[in-house]
Amino acid sequence: MDRGTLRLALTVGALVLSLLAGFALGRVNAGGDPAPGPGAAPTSGVGAHTHPPGTGPHEHPTGAAAGPAGAETGGLSVSAGGYTLVPAATTFTAGRGRDFRFQVRGPDRRAVTGYAVVHEKPMHMIVVRRDLSGYQHLHPTMAPDGTWSVPLTLPSPGVWRAYADFSAVDATGGQHPSTLGVDLVVAGSYQPRPLPAPAREATVGGFTVTYEGTPQVGTSQPMLFRVFTGGNPVTTLEPYLGAYGHLVVVREGDLGYVHVHPEPEPAGGAVKFWLAAPSPGSYRMYFDFQVSGAVRTAEFTLTMP
């Protein structure tokens, strides 16, 4: 048999095998595919409804699935929606700062280099220990190859959660808001701190911060934050990252993450957010605000029955 004949025989053999494999796959699909038919559509339960054929997923004005801002948590996974957080190293020494480096890989598995600027920054990074202490809000910088870095000091032993909060821009200009999370580890004797009791008042750096409003599970409610010093309302709150405050809410137990922004202008001296609790449970709320050029964070525990 000469080389040409051999090649032809191999090609024909491969083709036959492909056809047989395709036939087998077709059989499997035909027999085992639980394709949703009219009988499979949900007919009961909160939010159950059918979509006309061909309309695909869509946003709902209300409801728990895709509804009000803050109704869903992020940051529970290193990979979601086709985007994956890839840290260079996740081990730190207590109290010793170094650069934390990472990339976000896109659906094509390459490092993402296109990001939308959201609240003045293309990347927001929140770091908190898993007992919800030690909150930090950082802004990494990106090298041209898509590698982000930020100086980071983890002051105490334990497991810390780092959240990358960003909106990737794809080749067609589409934006993909994402929050991905990864654990960082500091060896040593870990002394977990109990979650402080729920309170509507917190002090930080000589300021007293209060909030009014009670979030409901699945329904946005107004939350009004006020800042006082020496018993007087502070009237000189400054915009920080394009807003008069930022509110990060982290759930105890799994560290599910919610980040909300306020209405553009203070209402009667209060910074007003709309917040829906993702579920019953306890949360730590971190309210970032700026006075005289300095950013401070007031922290509150919130328990949802």
d(CA 137, CA 124): 7
Smaller CB separation from Cu ion, 66 or 241: 241
Structure tokens that stand for 231 in this block: 């018993």
Stretch that binds Cu ion, among 50-58, 123-131, 155-163, 228-236 (CB under 5 A): 123-131
The answer to whether 119 and 105 are in contact (CB under 8 A) is no
- The tokens for 149 are 């870095």
Q: Which stretch binds Cu ion (CB under 5 A): 78-86, 87-95, 119-127, 150-158?
A: 119-127
Taking the least distance from each CB to Cu ion, the nearer of 124 and 161 is 124
Smaller CB separation from Cu ion, 84 or 136: 136
Q: Could you tell me the smallest distance in angstroms from the CB atom of residue 288 to Cu ion?
A: 8
161 makes contact with Cu ion (CB under 5 A)? no
CB of 126 or CB of 227, closer to Cu ion: 126
**C-alpha–C-alpha distance, residues 108 and 146, integer Å:** 14
Residue 176 binds to Cu ion (criterion: CB under 5 A): no
Among 115, 124, 157, 299, contact with Cu ion (rule: CB under 5 A): 124
Stretch that binds Cu ion, among 71-79, 81-89, 118-126, 222-230 (CB under 5 A): 118-126
Q: Are 115 and 167 in contact, with CB atoms under 8 Å apart?
A: yes
User: Which residues lie below 8 Å from residue 295, measured CB to CB, with a gap of 6+?
Assistant: 137, 240, 288, 289
Phi and psi, residue 32, nearest 5°: -115, 0
Q: Is 129 in the site for Cu ion (CB under 5 A)?
A: no
- Provide the pairing of β-strand 175-186 with 91-92: parallel
Residues that bind Cu ion (CB under 5 A): 124
